[in-house]
Amino acid sequence: MSNIKKNVFLTLFIVISLIVPSFRIQGATNKPYITCKEKICEIGDKFYVKLKGVGTESYVIADETVAVVNEKGKVKTKRAGKTKLTITGENGKKYTCKIKVYDTNRCKDAVTVKSKSSKKSASIKSTDVPEENFHVERATLVNFSNILYTKGTPDGLVYLRNSKITDKLTYKDSDCRLQKEVIKPLSQMLEDAYAAGKFKYTIIGGGGYREFATQERYWTRRQNMYPGYADDPYNNGGVICVPPVCSEHRTGFAIDFDATKEGFKWLKENCYKYGFIHRYEGDKTTYTGVMDEDEHYTYVGKDIAATCYLEHLCLEEYYEKYVNVK
Ligand SMILES: [Zn+2]
């Protein structure tokens, strides 16, 4: 009898000890998740990454020269680079957060272009502008104050029809051209956009590289309709058409998209991960001289794009803060 009692107690003990904790864990593990799956940040940034819905067993950073983490999940970044935070939950599962740290004080790919003419850009006569072809780097500032004083063509352009480009993108002009280095990140971005919400994009007519003559046509038409147009772009809420010497489309790094509202929303929030910026924001017209444009994106490279996005800077402000500093 005592043996039977013992066995009953033992069985009960085993059953209870198996059931009770699993109830406890089940109750606590209602869809456990990590609070951040990807973090793009700067050197010296501090932030928390936690598990929700389950207790935490440990925090481990793959490369501790890039960032460190304490026992409470507080991460501190140390140098530019990539690493991964792995949090092991009390359920034994591992959850990861990718961390990319940028050194925004040393963006080597930013190039300052000084205006080659002191003339007011809106009043420059196209007959005075030389024909030279030119070289242009990504993130080159082209605006009313920093002009491309040439009618020529930049090097580095490729026809989209000859490029390996995603089928999630169509383009209105069969001879649409962009800078070669834009093709890969652009394809990746639009593939991911499609995966996120079946968003498809079209480059509008004239929305890729634009020749001087094409921009001049748009510009002349606009000026004929509104004499004095763009005489004071910084103080009147910005303009939508710029003189040919001021157009970013002449670099081959700018793209005008056509997309759904949701497609544009996705781009605006994610473009920086691929090196693009939403170039003309509604609250930056006093810097850009251009109105809020949903469609206009510019490839500047990941470092600059991340900084602009994180700090909500337009390219003009970026230059002011990080490039033109004395
Ligand atoms: Zn545009």
Tens of pLDDT, residue by residue over 246-258, are 999 999 999 999 9
Ligand 1 mean position to 259 CA, how many Å? 14
Residue pair 215/250 in contact (Cβ under 8 Å)? The answer is: yes
| Cα four-point dihedral sign 76, 78, 81, 84 | negative
The verdict on residue 107 lying in a domain is no
Most confident of 2-6, 281-285, 296-300: 296-300
Ligand 1 mean position to 39 CA, how many Å? 29
pLDDT of residue 53: 92
148 shares its domain with 77: no
The verdict on residue 205 lying in a domain is yes
Q: Is 184 left (phi over 0), alpha (psi -120 to 50) or beta?
A: alpha
* pLDDT tens readout for residues 125-174: 888 889 989 999 999 999 988 899 999 999 999 999 999 999 999 999 99
Domain edge (last residue) among 102, 130, 153: 102
Ligand 1 mean position to 248 CA, how many Å? 7
Could you tell me the residue range of the domain that residue 283 belongs to? 121-323
The verdict on residue 11 lying in a domain is no
The verdict on residue 315 lying in a domain is yes
pLDDT of residue 116: 38
Which tokens hold the place of 217? 């046509």
Q: pLDDT averaged over the chain? A: 85
The verdict on residue 27 lying in a domain is no
Percent of the chain with pLDDT over 70: 84
Ligand 1 mean position to 249 CA, how many Å? 6
Domains contained in the chain, number: 2
d(Cα 62, Cα 94) in Å, to the nearest integer? 13
CATH of residue 182: 3.30.1380.10
57 among known catalytic residues: no
The verdict on residue 24 lying in a domain is no
Q: Is the pLDDT of residue 119 over 60?
A: no
213 shares its domain with 316: yes
Ligand 1 mean position to 247 CA, how many Å? 8
CATH of residue 55: 2.60.40.1080
* Res. 326 pLDDT band, cuts 50 70 90: low
Ligand 1 mean position to 42 CA, how many Å? 29
The verdict on residue 195 lying in a domain is yes
* pLDDT tens readout for residues 306-319: 999 999 999 999 99
* pLDDT tens readout for residues 69-95: 999 999 998 887 788 999 999 999 999
Residue pair 186/160 in contact (Cβ under 8 Å)? The answer is: no
pLDDT of residue 11: 55
> Which member of 269, 293, 295, 311 is catalytic?
293
203 shares its domain with 265: yes
170 shares its domain with 262: yes
Determine phi and psi for 42, rounding to 5 degrees.
Answer: -110, 170
pLDDT of residue 10: 54
Helix, strand, coil % over all residues of the chain, rounded to 5: 35, 20, 40
The verdict on residue 233 lying in a domain is yes
Residue pair 76/45 in contact (Cβ under 8 Å)? The answer is: yes
pLDDT of residue 21: 45
166 shares its domain with 236: yes
